[in-house]
Amino acid sequence: MISLFADLTVIDVSTVLAGPSVGTFFAELGAKVIKIENPSVPDVTRSWKLPVEDPSSDVSAYFSSINYKKEYLQIDLRTTEGKKEFFKLIEGADMLISNFKFGDEDKFGITDDILRAHNPKLICGKISGFGSDSDRVAYDLILQAESGIMSMNGTPDSGPVKMPIALIDVLAAHHLKEALLIALLRRQKEEQGSTVTVSLYDAAVCSLVNQASNYLMTGKVPGRIGSLHPNIAPYGEIFTTGNGDLITFAIGSNEHFRRLCGYLDCTELSIDPRFDSNPVRVINRKELFELLQKRISTTETQPLLEEMLKQKVPAGKIRSLDEVFMDKGAKALIREEEINGTSTKRVTSIAFKWE
């Protein structure tokens, strides 16, 4: 990765996932990132461990996933000496990333005005749960619950289900990265610092995209339909092959459907009035699933997927993480580092590539 930000210094006083992942993003792009933790109350994710992890280590896999290529300092902002050390770092910094609880900036005496008295060009990036004026404690699960995501996720039988990753934290982090990059561009033109804020709530609601428009334009409240797509079929149905593998298709056009039916030797389905267009396939998706499953249950996985790839029909096997990280492409995204004597691994925060 090109060191785009070799001259950039970032102070990261955030904890948990969203803020620290933004710090890692800039670190991977060459910035000097200094993570500051309270000596008596360090980042809580250091203790978020699987049962198989070493309980005596001060580094967890969770902590490692979003802390990479950083320098670590312990500073107590409640003390005079700690605050003095902190302000010294701020004077030489370009950016501060934080997710302080409501009121903490005033309590510690590190408001934007005070910080910019030490460094007028400082860019402040802040993450909150429900907005900068709310003192409500927020974790990703609560945002998934209150933004409507859990109400749509799962099946009619399962009840509401959270995503298996902290999706809202990840989305909020991406929004803050974008805002901070814009703030850097603005500083180049205006030569002054600025403050950008992102709330987990706003990031969650903004991620509803087509589901939001479906509701806003039709009044239909989406229910739990598992992996199915409300507007497209077959899309998200889970089929079992003759090998016992689970596969799925994203049939986004009539041509995709025609090619799939051709391979499965059931071309009659592609001209059947019940299935010859996407709108009627959505209406009759259960019957269509049963007809396709009958064919797929006698079909071997690999030849099917290879032919779909050849014919440019979106299809994939549902893979577990051990299968994912057998893939050459996934392996290339792994980053390793030793933190406090512990060997750590994570996937990169940089998904784009330079051509």
Cα distances (angstroms) measured from residue 38 to each of 72, 76, 80, 82: 11, 5, 14, 10
pLDDT value of position 317: 98
Helices (H) and strands (E) in the chain, counts: 17, 11
To the query of whether residue 104 is one of the catalytic residues in this protein, the response is no
pLDDT value of position 106: 94
Structural domains of the chain in order of their starting residue, each with its CATH number: 9-139+170-198+332-347 (3.40.50.10540), 235-318 (3.30.1540.10)
pLDDT value of position 107: 93
pLDDT value of position 3: 78
pLDDT value of position 266: 97
- Nearest 10 degrees: CA dihedral of 166, 170, 171, 175? 150
Catalytic residue among 140, 169, 202, 245: 169
For residues 299 and 265, give the distance between their C-alpha atoms in angstroms, rounded to a whole number: 11
pLDDT value of position 59: 97
- The structure's pTM equals 0.91
Residues of the chain with pLDDT under 50: none
Residue type present at position 301: T
- Do the beta carbons of residue 339 and residue 24 sit within 8 Å? no
